Chain A
Amino acid sequence: MILKYLFAKNEAIPVGSSAIFFGFSAIVWFMIGTGLGSFNAAKLAFPDFVTGTEMFAFGHMRQVHVLAVIFGWISMAFAMAMMYITPILGNTRLWSEKLGLWNCMMWNVCLLAGLSLMWMGVTSGREYSDFPWPLDLAVAVFISIPLAINVWMTIINRRTQGIYTTNWFFAASTFMLIIVFLVGNLPEYFHLTGLTEAYMTWWFAHNVLGLWITPVAAAIAYYVIPKVTGNPLYSHRIGHLHFWSIVVFYSTPAAHHLMSAPLPEWLKSFASVEGVLILVPAIAFVSNILLTMQGKWNMFVENLEVRFTVVGVLLAIPLNMQGGFQQTRSINWYIHGTGWMVAHAHLALLGFSTFLEAAAVYLGLQTLMKRKLYSLTLGNLHFWLLLIGFSTYWVSMTIAGLIQGAGKIYEVPYIDVVIAEHPYMIARWLGGTMVFSSTILWLYNMWMTAREGTPIPAGRMPHELAYER
């Protein structure tokens, strides 16, 4: 298949090969990641479900789920979006399809190796930067740097005068990811210890979300909505406000993850104030996209990509209202370390960002393979299973978190909190399982699109053709 092009001349590789490779890899990793999530959730609801084996112990699998969805699903879907959106917006070809293909293959190899080792328990013991440092360096060298080079060179070789909003974000985020990855893992290369290590762990975790996942997901919406609806972006200037406030406000509140650790008080206060200012890019982004929809709201119902994107953007509202305020001292003391945070993390990654990436993958695969989506029915089923599954998860974990917070401040014996949380653990498992099953339908639908989708005539967009099934 696509692997035969790894050693072909760059000119001989069909346009879009690397994006298609990234797109299908992303869906497969999404299936693996959510499958592990569903399995882990079952263990939290029923602790004797598959027990007594080291490889299937919760503590060995939890981080594999997290990194599979962040670096497998989300980041590979981002790479997929960059591989086809960056050239389109520059009215040019991707700088190197061959680099893109190698990038994707090495990405899969590194992630498979890293996650397998982590499953065995090989870990640095630092949340979100769990890989040992040789693997961190491999990630930088084989994953983030080649991706950034391809994106930057495509933008530099563009045939348009300006750079569109989406590409500002792509260029800046790929740069910031490299810096965050190399700097955030300094404690491992140089064996920095103590509070420095703890703080740098959360500096990495905060910035990988704030400077990679949030802006790139937003950049996808800046492309999909104007492209599919045909409306121009509501405001270029609000886009500027969004971009600059992400760089200035989102890169600074790392310490708010450690509000109860003995970090310098000035740092915690500063982080907390900056954390509230996250509402500036959030409001700029949500208003800009929703105002771009003016006059085209029928497409929210009729078009699958628009529906996914707009739901993702709407989920950014509760996400940022939570994110801005839950880290202030007055709220953080109640909900820190509870299921509320787990719900919030899934709102960010499974709600807000996954819906935007799914739109990019749907649109990109149809455009590049020049095939109309095989089945709208399966697409709708994917959408509703994902949305209902996610909502079940989010609501149940939020309630569980509030129970846990109350138990914490009223000094309830811990086991009573565990008993009270039990029904919500079952609900979270059901929700997670719905999400997992939706990814199987999606993979089937995209596979059948490649094989049997109606060909899209040259010069036409996928949404201009009617759905057939």
Chain B
Amino acid sequence: MQFREYKVGSRMFGMAFGLSMTITLLFPSFDLAASVVSEVGLDKQLASGWDSGWQLQDPFLDGLNKPLKVLVRKDPKTGEPMEPVYAYVYPAGTSLPNGVNHPQILGHGVEGLSVEQGRITEAKKEDGAVFLINKSNKLLDFEDKPLAYIVNATATKGWTPDEVLNQAVDSDVLHAGAGKTMFVREGCWWCHTLLPEQTQDWQIFGAPPMLGDFNGESPTAFGSDRKGPDLLHVGSRNGSREWMMLHFFNPRLVQPHSIMPRFDYLWGEFDADGNKIDYDKWRSEYDEYREGKITTPPDVPMYTKDSEIRKLIDFIVNLK
């Protein structure tokens, strides 16, 4: 090897690059591994499922292999009315979230509670599972918020995914997980960040996220280049599904100066009544409206309940 006259240099290079990787990868990993998941983090993780980017079970990002977030108003076993509670339903065969597969990423305290009281290690992918978020009377170390943990309701209460889904009306079911896949696939995050900054940002866009708000979420899709408003808390600012529907079909219907693309193609071929959507007609009528030839824009078709736009809107209004 003719690198021999560079023996010292090669070793110095190895040491320098190794030291750099030790400081930038190994040392931060101790701090990140010590983070304790917050209630927000648990909700995001359970609602979005195993992964929202490319995965073997969903190679073309159609929103497959995803859980449902369901508002449970009646006890699935007895049918008795109960205090409404959000349940995260993983139908049989759906990949379980990272925190259930690897409880150690939940962090000190949450891991123990979730395994011992929540019995999350008993959840099986083949049978499906229903998860709830419980609050304990312990407090988080740094903020005085109660420590929240995951409960496997299939083990503790015997709730099966089918039972929970059968008692729920469609408007109580949020396809937030599949919606996050749409958010990633359609590249919403190239223009909308999910990361309010620790400056004046929080006064308009809401509180910046805290350590522990992300454990188990992948991808985090923070975004880096903001060409539209931050969306981390958009559901708290504007929870109107009707407004979202108009805005996604053609943003200029509700905000004439918007530069957002139209996402009308997410409606698919048919509207909620089963009629074929005539996009060409809609667009030419809209052009007439824009030129002032007619006074009102054409009506936006109602989407079907399993359309991609419904999933995306579910994800957006769920961003609280």
Contacts and interface: CB of A to CB of B under 8 A. Distances in A.
Contacts of B199: 260, 333, 408-409
A378 interface: no
B224 A127 contact: yes
Contacts of B193: 337
Contacts of B261: 43, 47, 51, 57-59
Contacts of B229: 414
Contact of B187 (A53, A59, A162): A59
B53 A132 contact: yes
A255 B32 CA distance: 13
Contacts of A203: 24-25
Interface string A240-272: 000010011001101101101111100100110
Nearest to A333: B199
Given A57-B186, A162-B5, A258-B222, A191 B24 contact: no
A193 interface: yes
Contacts of A133: 54
A321 to B, nearest CB: 21
Contact of B23 (A132, A197, A270): A270
A198 B32 CA distance: 11
B211 interface: yes
A342 interface: yes
A43 B49 CA distance: 33
A123 B53 contact: yes
A459 interface: no
B197 A262 contact: no
Nearest to B54: A132
Given A196-B29, A199-B32, A124 B219 contact: yes
B197 A183 contact: no
B187 A62 contact: yes
B221 A338 contact: no
A242 B195 CA distance: 36
A265 B113 CA distance: 29
Contacts of B197: 260, 333, 336-337, 408
A187 interface: yes
Residue of B225, B263, B279 with most chain A CB atoms under a 10 A cut-off:
B225
Contacts of A341: 224-225
B149 interface: no
Contacts, number: 218
A122 B61 contact: yes
B60 A411 contact: no
Nearest to B33: A196
Given A191-B51, A193-B217, A121 B186 contact: yes
A430 interface: no
Nearest to A124: B53
A247 B265 CA distance: 48
Given A47-B261, A254-B24, A125 B198 contact: no
Contacts of B25: 183, 203
Contact of A338 (B6, B13, B226): B226
B218 interface: yes
Interface string B1-28: 1110110000011001100110111011
B217 A194 contact: yes
Residue of A58, A132, A195 with most chain B CB atoms under a 10 A cut-off:
A195
B32 A195 contact: yes
B28 A263 contact: yes
A257 B186 contact: no
B258 interface: yes
A270 to B, nearest CB: 7
B296 to A, nearest CB: 19
B164 to A, nearest CB: 25
Contacts of B137: none
Nearest to A131: B54
Given A262-B211, A419-B257, A52 B216 contact: no
B143 to A, nearest CB: 12
B98 interface: yes
Contact of B219 (A125, A247, A408): A125
A418 interface: yes
| Pairs A-B, 6 closest by C-beta atoms | A59-B187, A125-B219, A125-B53, A132-B54, A260-B197, A121-B185
9 contacts: A44-B227, A125-B54, A193-B217, A197-B218, A198-B222, A261-B222, A262-B210, A336-B197, A414-B229
Interface of A: 43-44, 47-48, 51-54, 57-60, 62-63, 120-127, 132-133, 155-158, 161-163, 172, 176, 179, 183, 187-188, 191-199, 201, 203, 244, 247-248, 251-252, 254-255, 257-258, 260-264, 267, 270-271, 333, 336-339, 341-342, 404, 408-411, 414-415, 418-419, 425
Given A62-B187, A199-B32, A337-B224, 14 more contacts: A48-B252, A54-B265, A57-B263, A59-B186, A162-B5, A176-B17, A195-B220, A198-B220, A203-B24, A260-B197, A260-B198, A333-B198, A404-B226, A409-B200
